[in-house]
Amino acid sequence: MDAVLRSLVEAGGGVVTRARALEVVPPWTLRRAYRIGWLRRVLPAVYVDGSLLAGPESASVLARVTPEVARRAALAYADGRAALSALTALDVYGLRPQPAGEPVYLDVPAGTGLRSRESLVVRHRRAFAAEPPHVVVRRGVPLVRLEEALVRSWSLLPEESRIGPVVRAVNDRLTTGHRLRGALAPKTTGRAALSALIDRLDAGCRSPLEIWGHDRVFTGPDLPVLMRQVRVRVGRRTMYLDLFAEQERVDIELDGASSHGDTRQREIDLRRDALLATVGILVVRFSHRRLVREPDEVRRETLAILAGRRR
């Protein structure tokens, strides 16, 4: 490849537009680079370094580069008129890695003339501009606001994968239930289920397992009100209790599937439980397996323990 053109492509992270290339090289240089495969056209007037392509040739060029290169190419195609959205935005926010081959999602103002292509989904929005306050910049790229990305992604993800990014965003204090609810439009696909999840998060649930327990095990008239994520300080240590029965001084901890067999985590849990015992709090732990497979038995045990503590 021409040295000047090569340096330009490298400076663009493997991406160059026709307009930018013609600022530094004559048209025949660009045509030759394309003809012999040094550059591959990925979108109209947008090229990528041919050496970056991987995967089956039957796939679109945009699907054969890494998600990061695909994002650069899509933004180059939009030429400052778009922001990454939906699943693509979640990747940049660090909430869900976007696998290679998944479409790039862009939001653009209505009337831009940009349109969806193979492996590129363009959504036209009224009263939208690719600038603040509609857009924020993270890692050097424009993104729709996090709440909009989460709401839009809800219906795009498989049902079993929807909860994770929302829960993590709230847990990491990137957003709140109030702000998420404000991003829900009346015709949002899956609005009822997402609204129910936000209610669970507002109630203090902080993991998919806690949400499972909230909905199926630890609710009902025969149980006392269990407070969630209660802050307790013992000596110099601050801890948060999953489910706390204040009158009975019982902390119910829900251990995730990943903690099974983790001896280091087990040692940490034992020390924590012993510390809570010094202030009269009994810790009861239920594994992910038991909670999911034996919810009725877990409920019966919980009721018996609470009754015993009252006597």
Looking at the domain assignment, is residue 80 inside a domain?
A: no
Domain termination residue (choose one: 64, 86, 113): 64
Query: How many Å apart are CA 244 and CA 283, to the nearest integer?
Result: 9
* Pair 271, 184 in one domain: no
* Pair 276, 189 in one domain: no
Query: How many Å apart are CA 242 and CA 226, to the nearest integer?
Result: 9
Residue 256 has pLDDT above 70, yes or no: no
Within 10 angstroms of residue 131's Cβ, the number of other Cβ atoms is: 11
HSE value, Cβ hemisphere, 13 Å, CA-based, for 263: 0
Place 292 in a pLDDT band, splitting at 50, 70 and 90: confident
Query: How many Å apart are CA 213 and CA 201, to the nearest integer?
Result: 13
131 closest CA partner among 147, 143, 114, 149: 143
The chain-wide mean pLDDT, for the chain, equals 92
**Contact call for residues 66 and 100 (beta carbons, < 8 A):** yes
- Greatest alpha-carbon pair distance for the chain in Å reads 90
* Pair 220, 279 in one domain: yes
Looking at the domain assignment, is residue 118 inside a domain?
A: no
Q: In what order do the strands lie in the sheet with 237-245?
A: 227-234, 237-245, 250-255, 282-287
Place of tokens 């990061």: 68
Strands 120-125 and 104-109: parallel
Looking at the domain assignment, is residue 223 inside a domain?
A: yes
Where residue 235 sits, what CATH number does that domain have?
Answer: 3.40.960.10
Place 264 in a pLDDT band, splitting at 50, 70 and 90: confident
Please list, in sequence order, all residues whose beta carbon lies within 8 angstroms of the beta carbon of residue 269, skipping any fewer than 6 positions away: 253, 255, 259, 285
> How many angstroms from the chain centroid is the CA of residue 189?
18
Place 282 in a pLDDT band, splitting at 50, 70 and 90: very high
In a 3-state reduction of DSSP, which class is residue 37? coil
Residue 192 has pLDDT above 60, yes or no: yes
Question: Regarding predicted confidence, which is higher, 257 or 188?
Answer: 188
Q: Kindly state the average pLDDT of the residues 262-283.
A: 91
Looking at the domain assignment, is residue 262 inside a domain?
A: yes
Query: How many Å apart are CA 152 and CA 164, to the nearest integer?
Result: 14
pTM for this prediction:
0.78
Looking at the domain assignment, is residue 84 inside a domain?
A: no
Domain termination residue (choose one: 17, 32, 64): 64
Which structural domain, as residue segments, surrounds residue 219?
Answer: 208-310
Q: What is the pLDDT of residues 151-167, one digit of tens each?
A: 999 999 998 899 999 99
Domain termination residue (choose one: 202, 235, 270): 202
Q: What is the pLDDT of residues 95-120, one digit of tens each?
A: 999 998 899 999 999 999 999 999 99
Q: H or E segment at 172? A: none
Residue 50 has pLDDT above 90, yes or no: yes
